[in-house]
Amino acid sequence: MERITEEIGMTAEHTVKLVNPVGQRAVERVALARRLDTLHGKSIGFIDNMKPNANLFIQYIEEMMRADYTEIQTHSVRKNYTSSKLIADELDGKVQCLVNAWGD
């Protein structure tokens, strides 16, 4: 480092300050929702994120659940690509658990 400083004529007065661009946010920790003891007789929500084959994935998961829990009720919603509306509001009060297609 000394050699480079001498070659370009820098002195100790010329320093570079590095700044970490990652901000810090206050995060409120919340507990996870209580897990159901069983799916028997429950109402289950499915959120389709409209990614390729998400609807097929949701359909497959629903069929698997129905094979083991024939008396479940299901509610499905599809969110648009922009997530301009709160999809969870459509299921609020109607379901006891949720399967959400998520990711790419």
Distance (Å, whole) CA 93 – CA 26: 30
Residue 43 contacts residue 96 (beta carbons within 8 Å): yes
Distance (Å, whole) CA 10 – CA 4: 8
- SS3 letters across 16-85: CCCCCCCCCCCCCCCCCCCCCCCCCCCEEEEEECCCCCHHHHHHHHHHHHHHHCCCCEEEEEECCCCCCC
Distance (Å, whole) CA 61 – CA 83: 23
Which domains are delineated in the chain?
A: 31-104 (3.40.50)
For the stretch 6-26, pLDDT in tens is: 555 555 677 888 888 888 888
What pLDDT does residue 8 have? Answer: 58
For the stretch 42-75, pLDDT in tens is: 999 999 888 888 889 999 999 999 999 999 999 9
